[in-house]
């Protein structure tokens, strides 16, 4: 008996933030499951390097928070692939980890713009063709920081919480047109960004591990797998959900460490 597997043959996918981390890993997985993929990113050099690693059909460079770039990146994807079925919005940046009263308003705005406005603009640009064809699947990237309060992360927390409600709203608005919109909410994931923070001891992973029921940080592949499930027809009756992919982080309501709670 053959084992049923997620297959994405014939699907045309756009992955933002596809030059690194979770986006790059998801782009590779989408390709390996049969989709044709375009990766989009702000960083031209990283984009070109990731094109080979992900076997992307094409790349498109731009800033997701720019309306003009969002429209152009979607248009370039459609012209490279002949259409658009799946969008994974992974482009994002973190905050400076400073208290609110020391925060620069410009940086606060940039974090909100890239994460929230960027997700909105990319969904909006992709919806034009998806509404016409009456099908499509979009997965946005939230965070555990969008599920609860985190000190010194006001911009990122507000942006990711905004993505959650944007996801709910778009799912309701576009569901009648056959478009599904979901999000994943990752916990700390060992992407190049987080590995660099760990290397310079910016935070202590053991504190996070003890607060996490599964007792470890996540791997990019684990985020990619959850995103691909939601993008695929295996999730054909799932829309408007924000799926925590967090080793149980958001389920834990005890005091102190999981083992001693
Ligand atoms: N790594 C984690 O622990 C973690 C946890 C929760 C949520 N997330 C979210 O997952 C997503 C991916 O994070 P990652 O860890 O893979 O980060 P990463 O830095 O490895 O990758 C993000 C990519 O987005 C690109 N990017 C940044 N700003 C952009 C812009 N304005 N326009 C286009 N591209 C832009 C970057 O160049 C980079 O290639 C982000 O939305 C992040 O907030 C990450």
How many CB atoms are located within 10 Å of the residue 9 CB? Answer: 8
Q: How many angstroms separate the CA atoms of 164 and 160, rounded? A: 6
Structural domain of 161: 12-188+220-242
Structural domain contains residue 4? no
CA of 95 to the centre of ligand 1 (A): 12
At residue 16, does pLDDT exceed 70? Answer: yes
Structural domain contains residue 204? no
> Ligand 1 atom 11: the closest Cα is on which residue?
90
Structural domain contains residue 124? yes
Please compute the mean of the pLDDT values over residues 182-206 and round it to a whole number.
92
CATH number at residue 74: 3.40.50.720
- The helix/strand/coil state of 10 is coil
Q: Which of 77, 80, 173, 84 is nearest to 133 (CA)?
A: 84
Its pTM stands at: 0.98
* Cα 60 → chain centroid: 17
Structural domain contains residue 248? no
Structural domain contains residue 7? no
Q: Model confidence at 34, in pLDDT bands (50, 70, 90)?
A: very high
CA of 160 to the centre of ligand 1 (A): 12
**Total count of domains within the chain:** 1
Structural domain contains residue 64? yes
| Percentage of the chain lying above the pLDDT 90 cut | 92
Structural domain contains residue 140? yes
Give 188's Cβ-side CA count (13 Å radius). Answer: 20
Q: Which of 223, 234, 261 is nearest to 7 (CA)?
A: 234
- Does residue 138 have its Cβ closer than 6 Å to ligand 1? no
Structural domain contains residue 214? no
Give the residue carrying structure tokens 């607060």. Answer: 211
Q: How many angstroms separate the CA atoms of 246 and 261, rounded? A: 18
């Amino acid at each position: 008996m053959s084992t049923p597997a997620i297959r994405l043959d014939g699907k045309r996918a756009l992955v933002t933030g596809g030059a690194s981390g979770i986006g790059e890993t998801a782009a590779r997985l989408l390709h390996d499951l049969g989709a044709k993929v375009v990766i989009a990113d702000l960083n031209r050099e990283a984009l070109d390097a990731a094109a080979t690693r992900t076997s992307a059909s094409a790349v498109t460079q731009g800033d997701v928070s720019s309306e003009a770039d969002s429209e152009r990146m979607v248009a370039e994807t459609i012209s490279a692939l002949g259409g658009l079925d799946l969008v994974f919005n992974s482009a994002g940046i973190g905050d400076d980890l400073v208290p609110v009263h020391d925060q620069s308003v410009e940086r606060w705005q940039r974090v909100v713009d890239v994460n929230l406005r960027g997700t909105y603009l990319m969904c909006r640009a992709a919806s034009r063709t998806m509404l016409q064809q009456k099908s499509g699947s979009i997965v946005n990237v939230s965070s555990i920081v969008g599920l609860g309060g985190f000190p010194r992360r006001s911009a990122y927390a507000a942006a990711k919480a905004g993505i959650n409600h944007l996801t709910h709203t778009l799912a309701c608005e576009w569901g009648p047109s056959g478009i599904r919109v979901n999000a994943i909410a990752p916990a700390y994931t060992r992407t190049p960004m987080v590995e660099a923070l760990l290397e310079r001891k910016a935070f202590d992973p053991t504190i996070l591990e003890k607060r996490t029921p599964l007792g470890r940080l996540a791997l990019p592949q684990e985020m990619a797998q959850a995103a691909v499930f939601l993008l695929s027809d295996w999730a054909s009756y799932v829309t408007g959900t924000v799926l925590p992919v967090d080793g149980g982080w958001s389920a834990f309501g005890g005091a102190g460490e999981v083992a001693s709670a």
